[in-house]
Amino acid sequence: MKDLNASIIRTACGKPFDLRKAAPLASNASAPYGRHNFIVYKTTNGFYLKGYNTGCNQNLLNAFELISRNEAMKYLQLPRMAA
């Protein structure tokens, strides 16, 4: 059975969010994992989250923070990386 706690994250300010109910807007989810990885989410209640990697090579994302809508929209304007 999948560990559902892996989908519940806590931001740097301590607020919990369920990523199963959030829509990814932009990402750079490429291997190997490292500081370049991020995913920007929009939650069902209108919050924007940025998940990112602080240098951990075992997990894609290991830190999360609330960001403004304006900051989230900037990530949509980043050029896409070639696969």
Contact by Cβ (8 Å): 38, 51:
yes
pLDDT of residue 3: 47
Distance of alpha carbon 63 from alpha carbon 73, whole angstroms: 20
Averages of pLDDT over each 10 residues, the chain, 83 residues: 65 92 92 92 95 93 96 84 46
pLDDT of residue 4: 44
Q: Which two tokens stand for residue 73?
A: 């929209």
pTM above 0.85, yes or no: no
pLDDT of residue 77: 86
Choose among 73, 74, 17: nearest CA to 45.
Answer: 17
Main-chain dihedrals φ then ψ at residue 45, nearest 5 degrees = -100, 20
Q: How crowded is the C-beta side of 50, counted as CA atoms within 13 Å?
A: 19
